[in-house]
Amino acid sequence: MAKQIHRIEGVKPSPLLSHVVEANGFVFLAGSVGADPSTGTVKAGGFEAECRQMLDNVGHLLHGVGLDFGDVVRSTVYLVDFANRDIYNRVYQEYFSADPPARATVQAGLTAPYTVEIECTAARRG
């Protein structure tokens, strides 16, 4: 299967990256942050709200190609401050409640004002 770039309704295209790319039954999501789609800025309400918005954004991308969180096989999480790891883990478990994917968590510098980012790989069932 050739590489397919998916355009997702409500997601502004970027000249720097493709938000969703599919190849050989795998769906690769570019890094997602907690940007509120209505404003394009970090979700108000603190770190937990930012995490929830980020994962809601991932859900939107997944649903846009007919997938859901259960199809995610790997994720990489980037945290600015590891002191927020427990909060992140609690929120993450709500979205990946059964059979969570393989995951790496990395402390990283992110573009301000974002403090958490995730990239995911999903697999088509079949």
89-to-47, 51, 84 alpha-carbon distances in Å? 12, 10, 9
pLDDT for 69-125, tens place per residue?
999 999 999 999 999 999 999 999 999 998 999 999 999 999 989 999 999 999 998
pLDDT at 1: 67
| Tokens read off for 74 | 């790997």
Measured distance CA(52)–CA(58) in Å, rounded: 10
